[in-house]
């Protein structure tokens, strides 16, 4: 079994889910007392959020590259970045180490394409929805990506930062997300990527008729499967 290096803490609320899903997947595959071999470096999200807000992406890259180096020195065989938005800095992180990184968008697009879907809606932070680094990666995999209208993007982003990363779950926010998902489905989305690792804390498949693709679940399962190869 390979040792998984996890760069977490963005936020720790979703990193906790990663840890649970990875270990649960390994347990289901191997049975008995088996669990995953994991090394996690968890950043202080307050520092990362301040750099995001200030547009200091280069400095954010330094922080995450340092985290990757620490994981590699600790014995990780490969790494995952437990956040969607910070995959914007994947090149900075990958340059710092020799071990491979499993990209969260690749895991998501593989799952979606295996179901025969092509046109997909994307929810996430404003950075993930509006910038090209994530949408282009999905498009490279063969997906056509659509995002919500601006007012809906603002709602999605604000709920993530004002509530979800703080562990606050509000039924009224779930309803807002459901309405946004419904509008995207009406516009032709065959399914919806929950492209922020906290969104799955708020909304589940049973809340919507549209197929939902929780990137936390998909990415964590992919990491466990890769570790077991």
Percent of the chain residues past pLDDT 70, beyond the cut: 100
Identify whether 196 is a catalytic site residue: yes
Tens of pLDDT, residue by residue over 169-203, are: 999 999 999 999 999 999 999 999 999 999 999 99
Domains of the chain, earliest start first: 4-103+218-228 (3.40.50.1860), 105-214 (3.40.50.1860)
- pLDDT band at residue 141 using 50, 70 and 90 as cut-offs: confident
**How far out from the chain centre does Cα 45 lie?**
15
Q: What is the pLDDT of residue 49?
A: 95
Q: What is the pLDDT of residue 170?
A: 98
Tens of pLDDT, residue by residue over 45-89, are: 999 999 999 999 999 999 999 999 999 999 999 999 999 999 999
Catalytic residue chosen out of the listed positions 128, 196, 197, 216? 196
Identify whether 208 is a catalytic site residue: no
The model carries a pTM of: 0.95
Catalytic residue chosen out of the listed positions 25, 82, 83, 215? 83
Q: Is the pLDDT of residue 4 over 90?
A: yes
- Mean pLDDT on 106-112: 96
Q: What is the pLDDT of residue 154?
A: 98
């Amino acid at each position: 079994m390979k040792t998984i290096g996890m760069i977490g803490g963005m936020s720790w609320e979703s990193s906790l889910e990663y840890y649970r899903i990875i270990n649960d997947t390994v347990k289901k595959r191997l049975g008995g007392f088996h669990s995953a071999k994991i090394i996690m470096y968890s950043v202080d999200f307050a520092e990362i959020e301040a750099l995001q807000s200030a547009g200091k992406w280069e400095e954010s890259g330094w922080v995450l590259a340092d985290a990757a180096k620490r994981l590699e020195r600790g014995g990780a065989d490969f790494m995952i970045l437990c956040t969607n938005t910070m995959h914007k800095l994947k090149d900075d992180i990958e340059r710092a180490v020799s071990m491979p990184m499993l990209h969260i968008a690749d895991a998501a697009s593989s799952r979606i394409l295996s179901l025969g879907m092509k046109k997909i809606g994307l929810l996430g932070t404003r950075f993930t929805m509006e910038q090209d680094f994530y949408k282009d990666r999905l498009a490279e995999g063969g997906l056509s990506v659509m995002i919500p209208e601006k007012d809906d993007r603002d709602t999605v982003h604000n709920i993530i930062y004002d509530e979800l990363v703080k562990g606050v779950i509000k039924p009224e926010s779930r309803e807002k997300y459901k309405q946004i998902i419904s509008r995207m489905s009406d516009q032709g989305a065959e399914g919806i990527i929950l492209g922020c690792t906290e969104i799955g804390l708020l909304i589940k498949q049973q809340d919507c008729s549209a197929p939902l693709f929780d990137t936390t679940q998909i990415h964590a399962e992919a990491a466990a499967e890769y570790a077991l190869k």
